[in-house]
Amino acid sequence: MTREQKDNLFVLIKSLSKSEKRQFKLYVGRLGVNEDSKFLMLFNILDKLSSYDENAILKKGIVKKQQLSNLKAHLYKQILISLRLNPSHQDIRVQIREQLDFATILYHKGLYKQSLKILDKAKSLAINHEEKNVAYEIVEFEKIIESQYITRSLNNRADELSVQAKELSRQNVLASKLSNLSLQLYGQFLKTGYVKNKAETKRITEYYHDRLPSYDINELGFREKLWLFKAKLWYSFLTQDFLACYKYASKWVDLFYKNKEMITLNPVFFLRGNHYLLEALFYLRQYNKFKNALSELEIVVNEKTFPTDDNIDGLAFLYIYNNKFNLHFIEGSFDEGLPLIEEVLDRLKNYKDRIDEHHVMVFYYKIASMYFGAGDTKKCIYFLEKIISNKSLQMREDLLCFSRILNLVAHYEAGLDYNLDILIRSTYKFLIKMEDLYEVQKEFIKFLRGLGDIYPHEVKNEFVKLHRKLKEFEDDPYQSRAFLYLDIISWLESKIENRSIGDIIRQKFKNTAK
């Protein structure tokens, strides 16, 4: 899979909005820089290019090859300074850091009292907005100044700062341990997916409890609770306890609704919490709750008060549209979901530098599944090939595995059985490299390998046998997740009853909808 050459400066310039480009040129003008300045000329050249081309830059004659690297670095720095001055990027964190910078300048000028006054305000702002790392940094700076200039404003100033530093340090250490655990569990999930047997469950449970720090929930602030719920959520996902997933995702989202100012300050965590809440509801097949939660998320994201920038817009698209696909999968409304595909593919082009390749492949799997459900097996195969042929990507094993199995099913369904034996062999070869396979996968591969020896009039009977065997795994906590990636049972029922898979899933949805 060929990759377009990426250049950090070029990507940064292409990410700028029209107003940000105008702001940059105004900023350059305020610097008193001549319009013929080389870094401004380089900016204009890169802005007009559709893809990064070093030769095209050098042909303009503004800079020699050996000087280009330094000129690019200078332009990159000036763009960042300009963006920092833009009011749209002046969030609380930037404001606190700016105050800390001002206090540092005053300190170096020997204006200790003025410096301490600014630090005190910045510290209050940081603590009120749960920015405890920078709050600790401010307290340490206050201690340095107090050691040189005794204000005598408080008799116990030294003790007060020491106690404050100790408490902030304790909270930061706890938050760090919880965030580390959350990240490690998430990394485990990306690598292997859900646990597949008791041995894996035991290993993950021991890993989780060994690293979970002791805490008193009543003493935790917003930030510590957020990391705690994240760690518990990922442990629940890994061990396939989806009721617990729902519980902790709900606590995560409720934490934001109880502290609404934190939605503005931490929109990314707010979006992620809602995404995991929707994912848990999808796995639990709680249709009404799922639909309501998705609708509520869209309403909040579209409110004028909800912050917007390139990163937030990309994540909002990623989470909302992933779950729009899931809504169609629950309903079995595959044909109705087809218009969503073009919309997603168009928007993926806009977010190509902001959404990582793994999540793009997840979209491709959902698109392939949508086409499969709608009966368009050739388009299904087309998108699965994009996943299977991508050798440059480390993805979850289970997603790669089910992409290959769905590919087999789609080839069989499309009547493309001239190379089915080769596909079965390559898929089997891939699967045996995995440490543990779902029994569902083993039985299905066994079934496909035997298809070549079955007479056409016996095929339906073999479908019935496989259906009976797989139904045994439907309520098995370690095996049932396989059916969420690929609803093999509904596919088998469609072959047995000679109906479309969409029909089968829609009927099941109508029977279970509450």
Task: Identify the CATH number of the domain in which residue 110 sits.
Answer: 1.25.40
Cβ contact 500:333 at 8 Å: no
Nearest-Å Rg of the Cα atoms of the chain is 28
> Per-residue pLDDT for 407 more than 80?
yes
Arithmetic mean of pLDDT over the chain: 85
Clarify whether residues 67 and 81 are in a common domain.
yes
3-state helix, strand, coil split of the chain in percent (to 5) is 75, 0, 25
> Per-residue pLDDT for 148 more than 80?
no
- Token pair of 116, please? 């301490």
Residue 402 has a pLDDT of: 82
Cβ contact 173:377 at 8 Å: no
Clarify whether residues 13 and 85 are in a common domain.
yes
Residue 90 has a pLDDT of: 62
Q: Which residues contact 41 (CB under 8 A, 6 or more apart)?
A: 60, 62
The model's confidence at residue 467, banded by pLDDT at 50, 70 and 90, is confident
- Give the pLDDT mean for 127-133: 89
Q: Is residue 354 part of a domain?
A: no
Residue 371 has a pLDDT of: 94
Nearest partner of 185 among 203, 201, 208, 202, judged by Cα:
208
The model's confidence at residue 1, banded by pLDDT at 50, 70 and 90, is very low
How many domains in the chain? 2
Clarify whether residues 82 and 106 are in a common domain.
no
The model's confidence at residue 2, banded by pLDDT at 50, 70 and 90, is very low
Please state, for a pLDDT cut of 90, what percent of the chain lies above it: 38
> Per-residue pLDDT for 149 more than 70?
no
Residue 40 has a pLDDT of: 87
Residue 3 has a pLDDT of: 45
- Token pair of 321, please? 């549209």
Q: For 151-204, how does the pLDDT look when each residue is reduced to its tens digit (9 = 90+)? A: 555 557 778 888 889 999 999 999 999 999 999 998 888 777 778 788 889 999
- Give the pLDDT mean for 33-57: 84
Q: Is residue 248 part of a domain?
A: no
d(CA 491, CA 501): 5
Q: For 251-268, how does the pLDDT look when each residue is reduced to its tens digit (9 = 90+)? A: 999 999 999 989 988 999
Half-sphere exposure of 321 (CA within 13 A, CB side): 24
For residue 450, give Cα distances in angstroms to 27, 52, 420, 421, 437.
70, 52, 12, 10, 19
Q: Is residue 135 part of a domain?
A: yes
For residue 452, give Cα distances in angstroms to 424, 443, 458, 459.
11, 16, 11, 10
Sign of torsion over alpha carbons 432, 434, 440, 445: negative
Residue 212 has a pLDDT of: 94
Where does a domain end: 35, 69, 89? 89
> Per-residue pLDDT for 99 more than 70?
yes
Where does a domain end: 61, 89, 117? 89
**Higher model confidence: residue 336 or residue 18?**
336
Residue 444 has a pLDDT of: 77
Clarify whether residues 18 and 75 are in a common domain.
yes
The model's confidence at residue 300, banded by pLDDT at 50, 70 and 90, is very high
Indicate the range of 104-108, 146-150, 327-331 predicted with least confidence.
146-150
Clarify whether residues 102 and 80 are in a common domain.
no
Where does a domain end: 125, 153, 181? 153
Q: Is residue 3 part of a domain?
A: no
Clarify whether residues 47 and 100 are in a common domain.
no
Clarify whether residues 107 and 55 are in a common domain.
no
The model's confidence at residue 4, banded by pLDDT at 50, 70 and 90, is very low
Query: Tokens 């979850």 sit at which residue?
Result: 396
Cβ contact 56:110 at 8 Å: no
**pTM above threshold 0.85:** no
Q: Is residue 481 part of a domain?
A: no
Nearest partner of 211 among 252, 255, 178, judged by Cα:
178
> Per-residue pLDDT for 150 more than 60?
no
Clarify whether residues 51 and 103 are in a common domain.
no
d(CA 513, CA 299): 24
- Token pair of 466, please? 């496989």
**Higher model confidence: residue 305 or residue 85?**
305
Indicate the range of 378-382, 393-397, 420-424 predicted with least confidence.
393-397
The model's confidence at residue 28, banded by pLDDT at 50, 70 and 90, is confident
The model's confidence at residue 496, banded by pLDDT at 50, 70 and 90, is confident
The model's confidence at residue 208, banded by pLDDT at 50, 70 and 90, is very high
d(CA 248, CA 358): 25
The model's confidence at residue 86, banded by pLDDT at 50, 70 and 90, is confident
Q: Is residue 269 part of a domain?
A: no
Q: For 353-377, how does the pLDDT look when each residue is reduced to its tens digit (9 = 90+)? A: 778 888 889 899 999 999 999 999 9
**Higher model confidence: residue 109 or residue 370?**
370
Sign of torsion over alpha carbons 390, 396, 397, 401: negative
Hey, how many other C-beta atoms are within 10 angstroms of the C-beta on 471? 11
Q: Is residue 113 part of a domain?
A: yes
Distance linking the first and last C-alpha atoms of the chain: 45
Q: Is residue 372 part of a domain?
A: no
Clarify whether residues 32 and 99 are in a common domain.
no
- Give the pLDDT mean for 494-508: 84
Cβ contact 135:172 at 8 Å: no
- The secondary structure of residue 39, as a DSSP letter, is H
d(CA 320, CA 317): 5
Residue 251 has a pLDDT of: 97
Cβ contact 285:512 at 8 Å: yes
| Domain extent at residue 18 | 8-89
Clarify whether residues 17 and 63 are in a common domain.
yes
Cβ contact 466:443 at 8 Å: yes
